[in-house]
């Protein structure tokens, strides 16, 4: 595989030529990932069969445990991708190679409803498919986000923040479409197509990225010097600076990623009727599927990214300096509000009520604002704080915060299960536990950020 390596700064003040291929790849890849992830909770609790075709459904707590262990693996494997990228292969080759593993994982999931399930238990096919996706999806994560930054140099670094915003926009465009589509496929045509269509889109994502191979700036791998630089005094200092931030962001992800598990299962007990009226004598009624409600998040992200970039942040800038760490702190406190709302919803459900789904949508508004302020900011901040040869590695360390957050959720769900199928944290108590944990974390982060000292590195300036 031939690649062209350029290590000098980008000499144009325009948007780099390779960016459209990266953004297009990201939109299709995120369609594939979120399309598959969106339906996992409902598939596990309502559609999973054994080898004889009999129901083998998981309990809600077991399904949440599986989902969060999977997301834990997705965000732990970026370390593998970062080491392969920065040490041996470079970002482009790592992304292409692991994308093929990613495609294989989707193919295995699509076979769950086939005759192969008569020889291999569907639970094992589910496990192997998710494992391959975790390696592929996780492995490319730090490389893709760092590859975006590599396309910029001294003359166009001022565009980096906006391009990361559009990069995040592409993520949410792909996930919005798939979150609306794949639950319908699962409900009407079954798991074969529901898992198969995301697999096709992952193939498209890989092809689009390959098409851009001659347009990219390729930063070569560091070889053995990667380990020397990573564990040098400067490298260790960068890690020590960032790790406290990532530990606080870990708790954010522990709560945020429950929108794909606990919030979906909660929605099953809510009034999900969106439209119920009559027009010209015709009755119009639309009830959303529980899994589809996750589309609220990416839709809101696409709206809020430009609103925050061009309205909210400039307005706040008149009141105080809107630094990255202040954005993150505000986002963490908003997450507390976001999780208190489903706690209140759960209290109403426990009292025999059927709350309308609009209340969960309100919670989505708060947690999405928090995501814009925490996730996008931490992604960009991580890139700028990392020396050139450590950028993929630092991205991987950041993604460990997502991994550990989901590990925490999985472990909690494992520990609270009683032998009789009941839970030690019943109903609203489950949500209040995480709400309190988030509040304590937000307070600790606010205290820590007063003492943070770091250095900014831009591609080409520290070569």
Whether the CB-CB separation of 260 and 292 falls below 8 Å is answered with: no
Does residue 16 have a pLDDT over 80? no
- Give the per-residue pLDDT at 157: 67
The CA distance from 307 to 303, in Å, is 7
Strands (E), 185-340: 273-279, 282-287
Whether the CB-CB separation of 210 and 67 falls below 8 Å is answered with: no
Q: What is the average pLDDT across 338-346?
A: 97
Whether the CB-CB separation of 7 and 459 falls below 8 Å is answered with: no
Does residue 4 have a pLDDT over 60? no
Confidence of residue 269 (pLDDT cuts 50, 70, 90): very high
Q: What is the average pLDDT across 329-336?
A: 97
Token pair recorded at residue 45: 């609790």
- Give the per-residue pLDDT at 70: 94
The CA distance from 191 to 203, in Å, is 19
Q: What is the average pLDDT across 345-356?
A: 95
Burial class, 17, CB count within 10 angstroms (exposed 0-12 / middle 13-18 / buried 19+)? middle
- Give the per-residue pLDDT at 200: 94
Structural element, H or E, at residue 60: helix 60-76
Token pair recorded at residue 241: 């600076």
Q: What is the average pLDDT across 3-15?
A: 49
Whether the CB-CB separation of 80 and 95 falls below 8 Å is answered with: no
Q: What is the average pLDDT across 93-98?
A: 92
Q: What is the average pLDDT across 200-227?
A: 85
* b/e 98-110 (16+ beta carbons within 10 angstroms → b): bbebbbbbbbbbb
- Of residues 150 and 272, more confidently modeled: 272
Whole-angstrom CA distances from 10 to 28, 393, 411, 462 are: 27, 22, 46, 14
- Give the per-residue pLDDT at 283: 76
Say which range, 58-62, 93-97, 141-145, 205-209, has the weakest mean pLDDT: 141-145
Q: Which residue has the tokens 């960016």?
A: 19
Report which DSSP code applies to 286.
E
Strands (E), 389-441: none
- Give the per-residue pLDDT at 206: 92
Residue 27 sits at the vertex; the CA angle it makes with 182 and 34, to the nearest 5 degrees, is 35
Confidence of residue 131 (pLDDT cuts 50, 70, 90): very high
- Of residues 162 and 170, more confidently modeled: 170
Backbone φ and ψ of 274, nearest 5°: -90, -40
Mean pLDDT of the chain: 86
Question: Which CATH entry fits the domain spanning 19-451: 3.40.50.150, 1.20.1370.20, 1.20.1250.20, 3.30.2350.10?
Answer: 1.20.1250.20
The CA distance from 73 to 415, in Å, is 19
pLDDT digits (tens, 9 = 90+) for 382-412: 878 877 767 767 877 888 899 999 999 999 9
Query: 282 by DSSP, 3-state: which?
Result: strand
- Give the per-residue pLDDT at 347: 95
- Give the per-residue pLDDT at 181: 92
The CA distance from 337 to 318, in Å, is 25
N residues, the chain: 463
- Give the per-residue pLDDT at 286: 82
Does residue 2 have a pLDDT over 70? no
Does residue 227 have a pLDDT over 50? yes
Q: What is the average pLDDT across 333-338?
A: 97
Confidence of residue 421 (pLDDT cuts 50, 70, 90): low
State CA 360 to chain mean position distance.
Answer: 20
Whether the CB-CB separation of 105 and 163 falls below 8 Å is answered with: no
Alpha-carbon torsion (393, 126, 124, 263), positive or negative? positive
Does residue 415 have a pLDDT over 60? yes
pLDDT digits (tens, 9 = 90+) for 280-332: 777 777 888 898 888 999 899 889 988 998 899 999 999 998 889 999 999 99
Widest CA span of the chain, in angstroms?
75
Whether the CB-CB separation of 93 and 147 falls below 8 Å is answered with: no
Q: What is the reported pTM?
A: 0.79
Residue by residue, DSSP assigns 136-179 as HHHHHHHHHHHHHHHT--TTTGGGHHHHHHHHHHHHHHHHHHHH
Structural element, H or E, at residue 212: none
Nearest to 445 by CA among 363, 324, 312, 339: 324
- Give the per-residue pLDDT at 154: 67
- Give the per-residue pLDDT at 5: 43
Token pair recorded at residue 348: 């109403």
The CA distance from 90 to 143, in Å, is 9
Whether the CB-CB separation of 391 and 146 falls below 8 Å is answered with: yes
Neighbours of 347 (CB within 10 A): 16
pLDDT digits (tens, 9 = 90+) for 254-266: 999 999 899 999 9
Say which range, 56-60, 199-203, 361-365, 445-449, has the weakest mean pLDDT: 56-60
């Amino acid at each position: 595989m031939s690649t062209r390596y350029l290590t000098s700064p980008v000499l144009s003040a325009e948007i780099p030529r390779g960016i459209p291929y990266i953004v297009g790849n990201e939109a299709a890849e995120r369609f594939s990932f979120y399309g598959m992830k969106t339906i996992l909770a409902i598939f596990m609790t309502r559609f999973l069969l054994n080898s004889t075709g009999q129901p083998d459904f998981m309990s809600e707590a077991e399904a949440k445990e599986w989902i969060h262990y999977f997301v834990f693996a997705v965000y732990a494997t970026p370390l593998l991708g970062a080491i392969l990228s920065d040490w041996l292969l470079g970002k482009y080759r790592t992304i292409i190679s692991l994308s093929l593993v990613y495609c294989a994982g989707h193919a295995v999931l699509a076979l769950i409803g086939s005759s192969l399930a008569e020889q291999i238990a569907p639970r094992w096919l589910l496990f192997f498919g998710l494992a391959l996706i975790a390696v592929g999806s996780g492995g490319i994560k730090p490389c893709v986000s760092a590859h975006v930054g590599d396309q910029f140099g001294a003359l166009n670094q001022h565009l980096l923040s906006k391009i990361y915003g559009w990069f995040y926009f592409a993520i949410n465009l792909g996930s919005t479409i798939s979150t609306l589509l794949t639950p319908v496929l699962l409900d009407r045509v079954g798991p074969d197509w529901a898992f198969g269509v995301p697999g096709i889109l992952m193939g498209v994502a890989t092809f689009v990225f390959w098409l851009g191979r001659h347009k990219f700036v390729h930063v070569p791998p560091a070889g053995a010097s990667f380990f020397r630089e990573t564990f040098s005094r400067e490298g260790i200092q960068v890690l020590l600076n960032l790790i406290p931030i990532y530990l606080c962001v870990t708790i954010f992800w522990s709560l945020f990623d429950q929108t794909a598990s606990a919030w979906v299962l909660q929605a099953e007990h809510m009034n999900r009727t969106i439209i119920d009226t009559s027009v010209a004598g015709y009755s119009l009624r639309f009830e959303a599927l529980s899994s589809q409600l996750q589309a609220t998040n990416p839709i809101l992200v696409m709206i809020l990214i430009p609103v925050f970039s061009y309205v909210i942040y400039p307005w706040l800038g008149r009141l105080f300096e809107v630094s990255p760490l202040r954005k993150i702190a505000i986002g963490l406190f908003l997450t507390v509000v976001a999780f208190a709302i489903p706690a209140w919803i759960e209290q109403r459900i426990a009292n025999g009520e059927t709350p309308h789904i609009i209340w969960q949508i309100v919670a989505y508004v708060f947690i999405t604002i928090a995501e814009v302020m925490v996730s996008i900011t931490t992604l960009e901040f991580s890139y700028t704080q990392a020396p050139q040869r450590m950028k993929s590695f630092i991205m991987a360390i950041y993604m460990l915060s997502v991994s550990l957050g989901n590990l925490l959720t999985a472990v909690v769900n494992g520990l609270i299960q009683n032998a009789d199928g009941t839970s030690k944290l019943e109903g609203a108590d489950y949500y209040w536990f995480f709400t309190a944990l988030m509040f304590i974390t937000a307070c600790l982060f606010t205290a820590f950020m007063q003492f943070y000292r770091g250095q900014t590195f831009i591609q080409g300036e520290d070569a």
